[in-house]
Amino acid sequence: MQRDQKLDGLRKTIDEIDSRLIPLFVRRMETATQAAAVKKESGLPVLDAGRERAVTDRAVSSAGDYGDEAASLMRAILTISRQRQNKIIKGEDTGMKKISVINGPNLNLLGTREPEKYGELTLGEINAMIRGEAAALDAECDFFQSNSEGELVTAIQNAANGGGIILNAGAYTHYSIAIRDAIAAAGAPVVEVHLTNVHAREEFRHRSVISAVCKGVVAGFGPYGYILALRALCE
């Protein structure tokens, strides 16, 4: 129990650090062209270096509360993160597999929508779980949710050339030919995911019009189904 509490504390610390580092990274990306020009002329480092150093120092210090090994691990993670960020800014390939996680209608209500069927985790919490697993698999994920069929089609098209797509199309699973066609046209493999065992529910949920054009289907394992799909795409 004490170990679990320590791990939960470390996860929360990492999430907080992540929320602070991402805006800094975005600013670096938004001004990459200007920063490169300034660096070329003056030799100055990229902007916000001082603030970024303060955040990373705090990250290592916070991880150190859980022992020297945790501090060393955090330092290694931050070093790898900086290297990957610099590669992105320079337009280089990071070598990480890119997976798109796309969720359809009503999944934004997770946590409050029929928790006896869909569980108590929010979509944000599930995405955080997926992001953590992706880091362990040396992959990176982007996330998209919409209640609109057309927006889901566009999201699939935008992810078509990536490393793979994890798709929970919600109710569109059972009748959207447009989403089926988008999957069929995608170059990336698609794994269909459902939180519940759709075959044990109402008869209209037994039929999926998208399964035939997906690489595989995971159903009935709750949020863990996304992790299974991620592992399948990465391994």
Specify the residue for token string 């791990």: 7
Say if residue 76 is in the same domain as residue 145. no
Say if residue 182 is in the same domain as residue 80. no
User: Could you tell me the residue range of the domain that residue 14 belongs to?
Assistant: 2-89
The pLDDT value recorded for residue 3 is 66
For residue 197, the domain's CATH number is: 3.40.50.9100
Say if residue 73 is in the same domain as residue 174. no
Say if residue 67 is in the same domain as residue 103. no
Work out the end-to-end distance of the chain between its first and last CA atoms, rounded to an integer number of angstroms: 31
Mean pLDDT score, 214-233: 93
**Residue pLDDT, tens place only, 38-53:** 445 544 444 455 666 6
Q: Are 94 and 138 in contact (CB under 8 A)?
A: no
Domain end marker among 89, 117, 138: 89
Say if residue 129 is in the same domain as residue 64. no
Say if residue 143 is in the same domain as residue 58. no
**With 60 as the cut, is the pLDDT of residue 26 above it?**
no
Say if residue 29 is in the same domain as residue 109. no
Domain end marker among 40, 55, 89: 89
Helix %, strand %, coil % for the chain, to 5? 60, 10, 25
* Catalytic residue ranges: 118, 194
Residue 46 to residue 31: CA distance in whole angstroms: 9
The pLDDT value recorded for residue 32 is 53
| Beta pairing partners, 99 | 141, 164
**Residue pLDDT, tens place only, 134-165:** 888 888 899 999 999 999 999 999 999 899 99
| Beta pairing partners, 101 | 143, 166
